[in-house]
Structure 1
Amino acid sequence: MKKILLIHTGGTISMLENKETGEVYTTNKHPLSEATYILQEFADVEEKIIFSLPSPHITPDHMLELGKLINSEMDNYDGFVVTHGTDTLEETAYFLDLMLVTKKPVIITGAMRSSNEIGSDALYNLISSIRVASDERAIEQGVLVVMNDEIHTAANVTKTSTSNVATFKSPQYGPIGIITKDSLLFHHQILKRKKYVVSSITKKVLLLRAFAGMDGEIFEAINERSIDGLVVEGFGQGNLPKDVIPPLKKMIANNIPIVLVSRCFQGIVQPTYSYDGGGKHLKDMGIIFTNGLTGPKARIKLLLALEQTNDLQKLHMMFQID
């Protein structure tokens, strides 16, 4: 039987609903701890609580601390399951996927409904995650997100609904596998990715989303502050309003890396249009194009990449690998 470390960080999966008010609140004791005996049917499970935080309170420093804990326990367990709030779950999953160097399964899961709500998905998602972490086919697949009978890669998964239990999807390629009552079915293979082994997070990277009529004012303000990098969610294939170009040129001249992603949830940015603010114009300026990452994940990657280099040419190369 596989030995699995279950790490709790907080989130809805660790909360309860007040039946009188409908409020969902934190508790001193994890509500799923009493169900640990059920998990023992699938693996030898041990538990640790590292945080008790709603996921909007999770920062990259928390993600790094979580990654260091997993690394410190790597030789003691066959796999790891992390429970996490859903709002920033995909960012934590991708952070761990980039920093952890291991073949062992690392699974992130959560819940859209707290443990005592009608139709709660908390215990079911946890059992599914233990099953995946214990399965040989999850080895060398990177960090995986398990929710609602589906297995997703950290790089591709995103939260698509505010409240639906089927909120986590991989719009680009679909889930890597599915879970049935008696088996796991993997139908994609993960390619190797570059890892970013870091011991600290010291850089400041901001994320902006383009909108119709956007001017350069906010970019001018940002350029006056001390930042180390910027991610911009542009239109379509990677286009921006022409009025933002002058301050972007100033930032590039100041050696601040600017990474471009699309607001769309499918497709990749491409240097197609040559008008002012078009993708080709932006790439010729020196803006870094991604290979299908969302804005939040591109920010996570830039945070980690900047701990290794601030060379713009090297950063361009790093973002060709997702």
Structure 2
Amino acid sequence: MTPRLLLLATKDLMSYRRRPPGIATGAELLAAVPALAADVTVEDVMAEPAFDLTPGTMADLARRARAALAGFDGVVVTHGLDTIEDTACLADLVAGPGPIVFTGGVRALDDVSSDGPGNLADALTVAADPAFAGAGALVCLGGEVHAGRWVTLLDADSPAGLSSAPHPMLGRVRGSRVEVLAAPPPRPPDPRGEPESEVALIRAYPGIEGNLLIAATDAGARGVVLEGTGAYNVPASLLAAISDLTDWDIPVVVASRARAGRAGLDERPLGTGLAGAVGAIGSRGLPAGKARAALMVALAAGGGVAAAREYFARL
């Protein structure tokens, strides 16, 4: 049976034309792709440029993909690379087993050696492959298949600038077939509603003061993700503010700018992870941007610290 796929085209860099200036529709993008053994329906989606993407647009893309999976075998989303990992992670957490395959490009459609059509062809191939039927949200670029929850953009100028390290790449596209290399991450807890968009992300730095956290919540943040250092460490100047926010039922999740493992803050060696003693929640190995997506989902039903703590414990 021929797979039925939905292509959601957001018109970012891979759709740009320089001569004359313009933006290709999803149908025009699809026309640049070699014939595939799939029935593809195209839907053009209004969205901001990836560098200016809003949480509402991210959630809307995930919602559209989730709804489409009731009638399609897979969904492909064209997306700018600036925030492709953020949207793919959110989609993975809220949109069910998938597959939902995100792709993009670093060159315009009419550039010499444009990478967009090839990446789109690969993404459609992955979405049609039954091996990825329960893999959740994926990102396909440069022939590589990455889990949306693991992938990171390391090189904004490279046609193959993604990495899932320390996790494995899930597969590699070779022409019209996909070589499966590793299993996807376990499925996350079921979402309980629409993601909370008001979640702040703050990077800790030497000399940072706790009033920055308070200011974020005064501006409307219902949760805060702190990007700390090392083994989920943050400066002592933030501990009082973390305690205050926890008392106000505003969760603070601590991630790390380094690889720090999945152990909870209370499982850390003596002298590290001190934020846990005043109520912070560890990100369970998620980097800060992905921890923000997870906290958005954790707070979907209007919960607070307890809901966030339970959600991250189950990731």
Query: Same fold by TM (over 0.5)?
Result: yes
Distance 1:120 1:29, change over 3 A: closer
Distance 1:314 1:218, change over 3 A: closer
| CA deviation after TM superposition for structure 1 residue 249, in Å | 1.7
Give 2:205's aligned amino acid.
Answer: F
CA distance in 2, matches of 1:52, 1:221: 29
Query: Match for residue 243 of structure 1?
Result: 237
Query: Match for residue 86 of structure 1?
Result: 81
| CA deviation after TM superposition for structure 1 residue 187, in Å | 2.1
CA distance in 2, matches of 1:57, 1:257: 26
| CA deviation after TM superposition for structure 1 residue 182, in Å | 4.7
| CA deviation after TM superposition for structure 1 residue 183, in Å | 2.8
CA distance in 2, matches of 1:136, 1:7: 20
Distance 1:55 1:319, change over 3 A: same
Does residue 187 in structure 1 map to residue 215 in structure 2? Answer: no
| CA deviation after TM superposition for structure 1 residue 40, in Å | 3.5
Query: Match for residue 306 of structure 2?
Result: 313
Distance 1:266 1:156, change over 3 A: farther
Query: Match for residue 36 of structure 1?
Result: 31
Distance 1:273 1:220, change over 3 A: farther
1:131-142 correspondence runs (5 A): 131-142=125-136
| CA deviation after TM superposition for structure 1 residue 77, in Å | 1.8
SS of residue paired to 1:185:
strand
Give 1:132's aligned amino acid.
Answer: V
CA distance in 1, matches of 2:13, 2:126: 21
**Which stretch shows the higher mean deviation, 187-196 or 261-270?**
261-270
CA distance in 2, matches of 1:13, 1:318: 36
Which of these residues, 154, 162, 173, is aligned with residue 168 of structure 1?
162
TM-score (norm 2): 0.90
CA contact (8 A) 1:171 1:265 kept: no
Give 2:41's aligned amino acid.
Answer: E
Query: Match for residue 148 of structure 1?
Result: 142
Does residue 159 in structure 1 map to residue 153 in structure 2? Answer: yes
| CA deviation after TM superposition for structure 1 residue 202, in Å | 4.7
CA contact (8 A) 1:216 1:246 kept: yes
CA contact (8 A) 2:6 2:72 kept: yes
Give 1:184's aligned amino acid.
Answer: V
**In the TM superposition, what whole-angstrom CA distance separates every residue of 1:239-296 from its partner, at most 9, and x where no partner exists?**
1111222222221221110001001156446543544xx41x2112111011111111
Does residue 12 in structure 1 map to residue 22 in structure 2? Answer: no
Give 1:299's aligned amino acid.
Answer: R
| CA deviation after TM superposition for structure 1 residue 16, in Å | 2.3
| CA deviation after TM superposition for structure 1 residue 237, in Å | 0.7
**In the TM superposition, what whole-angstrom CA distance separates every residue of 1:200-251 from its partner, at most 9, and x where no partner exists?**
4455110011112323342343354432100000011111111222222221
CA contact (8 A) 1:15 1:30 kept: no
Distance 1:39 1:119, change over 3 A: closer
CA distance in 2, matches of 1:92, 1:285: 31
5+ residue gaps, structure 1? 20-24
TM-score (norm 1): 0.88
CA distance in 2, matches of 1:54, 1:223: 27
5+ residue gaps, structure 2? none
Which of these residues, 270, 278, 284, is aligned with residue 285 of structure 1?
278
Which of these residues, 66, 71, 74, is aligned with residue 76 of structure 1?
71
Query: Match for residue 2 of structure 1?
Result: 3
CA distance in 1, matches of 2:27, 2:108: 10
Give 1:151's aligned amino acid.
Answer: V
Residue-pair matches, total: 311
SS of residue paired to 2:187:
coil
| CA deviation after TM superposition for structure 1 residue 100, in Å | 1.2
| CA deviation after TM superposition for structure 1 residue 80, in Å | 1.0
Give 1:312's aligned amino acid.
Answer: V
CA distance in 2, matches of 1:138, 1:47: 21
Which of these residues, 238, 251, 257, is aligned with residue 257 of structure 1?
251
Distance 1:39 1:222, change over 3 A: same
What is the identity percentage for the equivalent residue pairs of Structure 1 and Structure 2? 25
CA contact (8 A) 2:15 2:29 kept: no
Report the aligned-residue RMSD. Answer: 2.3
SS of residue paired to 1:314:
helix
